[in-house]
Amino acid sequence: MASQIGHFINGKNVPGGSGRFGDVFNPATGEKTARVALASAAEVDAAVQVAKNAQLAWGAMPPLRRARVMFKVKDLIEKRLDDIARLLTLEHGKTFDDAKGEVGRGLEVVEFACGIAHHMRGDYTEQIATDMDAWSMRQPLGVVAGITPFNFPIMIPCWMGAMAVACGNAFILKPSEKDPSAPMLLTELFAEAGVPAGIFQAINGDKEAVDALLTHPDVPAISFVGSTAIGRYVYHTGTQHDKRVQALCGAKNHMVVMPDADLDQTTDALIGAGYGAAGERCMAISVAVAVGDVGDKLIEKLVPRVQALKVGPGLDPQSEMGPLVTRQHLDKVKGYVDLGVKEGAKLVVDGRELKLQGYENGNFMGGCLFDNVTPDMTIYKDEIFGPVLSIVRAKGFDDAIKLVNDHAYGNGTAIFTRDGDSARAFANNVKIGMVGVNVPIPVPVAYHSFGGWKASVFGDHGIYGMEGVRFYTKLKTVSARWPTGIRSGAEFHFKARH
């Protein structure tokens, strides 16, 4: 019998009260494993009121004490790492090793949050005028919310929640309804670590819950990661209701392969970055730009590797690529492959008809590889979010950079080359938020910040790192005079400071 997943409100798991539910499936078998409650606006409001009351004391707590709690959060996540990864695999489909890697990247931001006492320190200036000093401080916003996607059900809630809570806010998580079990466990671990009831809550739901958060007068800030269409809606709706919004959205990440690149290294990188997690990553490489005469050589190396990909259930240690998250998404990805063939791209490797014995109802497909893709094709313009890699030919370096810069998305990119001059010119001139040089998935470490450009982001703040601190706090500056003698007389104008 399918289990029931509710919400985590005021420090405990509670059943849903709306009467509406969504189904959760094991993507490897197609089996329905759970029913997840979909919150009403009233349930969202109840969580916000709990958070609002709890945040006052939490925000007033010395940052060092909040940091000590975050150290306990880190310890508990590390102890339960395999349990969390197993939940990820069973509901998302990614391989167990990939799931453990996701938990690890989330932990890096929790570790950064452990230093919050240092990160929130202000500035002090003595004697800005005679007997007058000034200082700045960062203070929490209050109740903030995070809307997170299905492809990283733990990592992104850690990116948002750890930073928001460490900064002194109360945080309400609205995870994807497709794979909610791991983020629900995360809320329990925060509570077990000593985060007070109401400070880290989870509301499962669909558009009704999202809209309730976007329009709630007591939620001043929203973080979002997901598709560009929904991100644009979240940004415009949130800002229209006077909220601070960071919305990290879709991508079409290019890897430029120069003629001097190490092709064995490049091929390894493309296989991992293009087909890892079945391509369901916003930092996946989905376009390889072959410069000069390197294209045929690259195809020659890629074809047998894509054909040999070991596709299977994520808990099988032999699997290199698991299933896609849902049957609907599988059909959508296959539809893009059909369209690519129709538009004239050359389908060099076709993984659409892959069938696995014993897993006939799973959401599996093999890797697909296109050659001779052109910028006018839909498979080039759209984010497919599946195991589909496109090869585009470019005559020279300048053509390759123009290709990357002309695309609507600007999340991540990479160049593979042995030439330092080409690498430096690429890094300096490409209009993309995150750049790798011989690094295929350039996700910044926790003490830098993650964020794209162009249609890949709405809002001015990146996620985690010092960008996260700035997003989840507001700046206050104090100017103070400490007179040493008796002064009299009103002042009616600004005085020049000497």
DSSP state, 428?
A: H
| Contact call for residues 442 and 436 (beta carbons, < 8 A) | yes
**Strands 32-37 vs 21-25: parallel, antiparallel or unpaired:** antiparallel
CA distances from residue 448 to 109, 222, 249, 431, 467 in whole angstroms, order as listed: 10, 21, 19, 18, 8
Sheet strands (E) in 268-355: 285-291, 346-349
Residue type, 381: K
**Strands 143-147 vs 346-349: parallel, antiparallel or unpaired:** unpaired
DSSP-assigned states of every residue in 181-194: HHHHHHHHHHHHTT
What SS3 class is residue 179? coil
Distance of CA 413 to the CA centre of its chain: 16
Q: Which of 158, 167, 249, 282 is catalytic?
A: 282
Q: How many CA atoms lie within 13 A of 449 on its CB side?
A: 20
| Contact call for residues 273 and 284 (beta carbons, < 8 A) | yes
Q: Which two tokens stand for residue 364?
A: 């599996």
Cα four-point dihedral sign 257, 261, 263, 266: negative
CA distance linking residue 416 with residue 422, whole number of Å = 10
Strand partners, 398: none
CB atoms within 10 A of CB 444: 17
| Contact call for residues 33 and 23 (beta carbons, < 8 A) | no
CA distance linking residue 458 with residue 451, whole number of Å = 10
Q: How many degrees, rounded to 5, is the angle at CA 303 between CA 299 and CA 307? A: 165
| Contact call for residues 219 and 145 (beta carbons, < 8 A) | yes
CA distance linking residue 32 with residue 10, whole number of Å = 29
CA distances from residue 221 to 45, 117, 322, 332, 484 in whole angstroms, order as listed: 15, 22, 35, 33, 43
CA nearest neighbour of 299 among 227, 349, 342, 341: 349
CA distance linking residue 472 with residue 305, whole number of Å = 44
Quick check: is 368 catalytic? no
| Contact call for residues 5 and 34 (beta carbons, < 8 A) | yes
Catalytic residues: 282
